[in-house]
Chains A and B, each alone.
Chain A
Amino acid sequence: MTQLDSVIKPKTKRSKRFLESRAPKLTEDVKSAMIMKGGNTSQTVTQALKDIYSLKKPNAVLYKKKNITRPFEDSTSLEFFSKKTDCSLFLFGSHNKKRPNNFIFGRLFDFHVLDMIELGIEKYVSLSEIKASKCPEGTKPMLVFAGEAFDTDNEHRRLKSLLIDFFRGPTVPAVRLAGLEHILHFTAIDGKIYMRSYRSLLKKSGCRTPRIELEEIGPSFDFVLKRTHLASDDLYKLAHKQPKALKPKKKKNISHDAFGTKFGRVHMQKQDLSKLQTRKMKGLRKRRGEVVTKEQEGQAPKVAKVES
């Protein structure tokens, strides 16, 4: 597709904009997710998929039809879908006797599968069952991960990275303080992962920072970590490579000494020392016929201390 991209020039501005939005960029936008069903699904699974779709709106597509594929065996169908919809995250829900109420979270890199993690749903409480006022769609959630497993175990670490990728919204430069309502809390204990979704109420406290009170709103899941298909180390490293242009430019001429004092060099032009503006000493002024030697004030214009 990329080979033909430059050969076939877009004829309308609209198609050009469309191709540009799909082209690789320096800073990428928020990843979108495809939420799909497998060959056989139960009521729990369909409802759960709908709930996660509402969490991830508008950066998600929910497919209504069933797809008879097995992601762990054959991922070509997933890659095809991702190319068509330009989505790099997917959530595949299925149900069979061997693996009941199964969720497969996955992400793709360059339209090839990077990581896939299978989670089984043990307990599920849907959005509609919990009667509370919900957050508006599209609010950037606060993510909290609890449990040592998310730090120690390799699979849990990848799962954490995947969940962050999935649920964090667009990267914004600033956030409205009153709008920090949605909280997603993940706890990992003994191979089980508990996902809870709360709404925060900011209560008055003595100081500027409010006190948080939580109210459970959203779907609550009790997951069990099952199979995983993690990317090899070099593919993972390749996926993380940032383009050089994004690296912050190093500011030149700033150096620090051991005490933390900031130093910089000030480069002066060559001064005519005979025309220096010094203190006027009337007694030393040149009188007619007299020769007076002036004091040369040597200045070292090189290093000027700038307090940090």
Chain B
Amino acid sequence: MAACSVEELLAKAEAQEAETLKSISVQKELDLEFDIGNLLACDKNRIEPRDLREKSKEDFLRALARDNTQLLVNEIWKQPTERVEEAIVAKLPEPTTRLPREKLPPKPRPPTKWEQFAKLKGIKKKKKTNLVWDETAKEWKRRWGYKRAGDDTKEWLIEVPESADPNEDQFAKRVKAKKERVAKNELNRLKNIARSQKVKIPAITLTPKASQSKDELARAESVAKTSTASLGRFQDRLPKENPAKKGKKRKFEPLIGNFSNEKQKQLELLKVMDTKKPKLDITKAVNKQMRQEDREEAAAKHKKAAGKKGRKGGSMGGKPRGKGGKGKKAAGGGGGKRRGKPGKR
């Protein structure tokens, strides 16, 4: 009898255990796709439209939801857990679903002018301490900022240096110097930003200054006038202002006009190309010669002053060669280059 009851008990216990084990298992045709990082589960199984009859719709949906949630929870419980202040916490992996971002990823800041230079030279930043020992106040103060260690604008006594004007206000001078430094820093910061965003800034001669000379003002004014859509042709003029100088307008022959003229021109061109004699541009040759003579005189003076001896410049001997000797179009010559033996190529 006892054996029977024991068997019964065992059978009952087994049945119960099977029951509980069954309770967390769910049968599905297709496995679900999980994204534990987002606590997400996707069920791709087909849903029969007949299951969604009006009466049992809610129950069907609830049963479906229960099954899917059970599978999701089974997956979540497989994650590694740890205990954090009397609560059991499961560590989630990274979310795998790709979702669009809110904003574009941040662009790295382009280096400033100083940073580029430092990189080029290999200058590294030295880590400085935040606090500096201030002797006068006998305490640790900030290196810069509010109530800093060596604030020279806050001094109550400044010795007037010997070279300075006795009536000059040294305190005002210091304050002004600081203001100028701040303004310079601000200007450099804005320039860095403009360079990084590739915004065009006007050249330094055109930026407004405290006192500009007459030429600078005139130049700035003319640039401003011509920077309109019609290149300043319809801008009003001041009563005594001179009208803008018209540039030389090039003239061209019409395309199909004078046939004999064209024929003449082309024959001449061919003749010039054919000749073996070099062509001579008299003005250019004369100018070149004059320039060279000036250069030689200057060099001679310089050498005399320096006191160097024995300079046998080939050009010294080759001076009075004349026009024929030069003989080539200035295209080959180039400005300012001295030839060892002029006339020979």
Contact = CB atoms under 8 A, between A and B. Distances in A.
A and B associate in one complex: yes
Interface of A: 3, 6-7, 23-26, 28, 31, 88, 107-111, 114, 140-148, 150-151, 160-161, 164-165, 168, 171-178, 180, 183, 185, 187, 189-190, 194, 196, 198, 200, 202, 204-214, 216, 236, 239-243
A177 B24 contact: no
B232 to A, nearest CB: 29
A177 B101 contact: no
Given A150-B42, A207-B24, A242 B105 contact: yes
B1 interface: no
A24 B108 CA distance: 11
B69 A241 contact: no
B6 interface: no
Interface residues of B, dominant DSSP:
mixed
B41 interface: yes
Contacts of B70: 211-212
Given A173-B92, A241-B101, A185 B39 contact: no
A270 B183 CA distance: 61
Given A24-B103, A28-B102, A110-B104, 13 more contacts: A140-B39, A144-B72, A145-B43, A146-B47, A147-B43, A148-B47, A151-B44, A175-B92, A185-B64, A185-B68, A187-B61, A212-B69, A242-B101
B95 A171 contact: yes
A176 B73 contact: no
A52 B100 CA distance: 22
B23 A205 contact: yes
Interface in B38-90: 38-47, 49, 52, 58, 61-62, 64-66, 68-70, 72-74, 76-77, 81-82, 84, 87-90
B98 interface: yes
Contacts of B68: 144, 146, 185
18 contacts: A23-B106, A24-B106, A26-B105, A109-B102, A114-B100, A145-B40, A148-B44, A171-B38, A173-B92, A174-B90, A176-B88, A180-B73, A183-B65, A196-B65, A205-B21, A206-B17, A208-B77, A242-B105
Contacts of A190: 49
Nearest to B82: A174
B91 interface: yes
A200 B39 contact: no
Interface in B177-235: 190, 193, 197
A239 B102 CA distance: 8
Contacts of A151: 42, 44
Contacts of A239: 100-101
Top 3 nearest A-B pairs (CB, nearest first) are: A206-B20, A239-B100, A243-B105
B43 A144 contact: yes
Given A196-B62, A207-B21, A208-B77, A189 B47 contact: yes
Nearest to A6: B193
B99 A173 contact: no
Contacts of A144: 40-43, 65, 68-69, 72
Given A174-B89, A211-B70, A168 B100 contact: no
Contacts of B89: 174-177
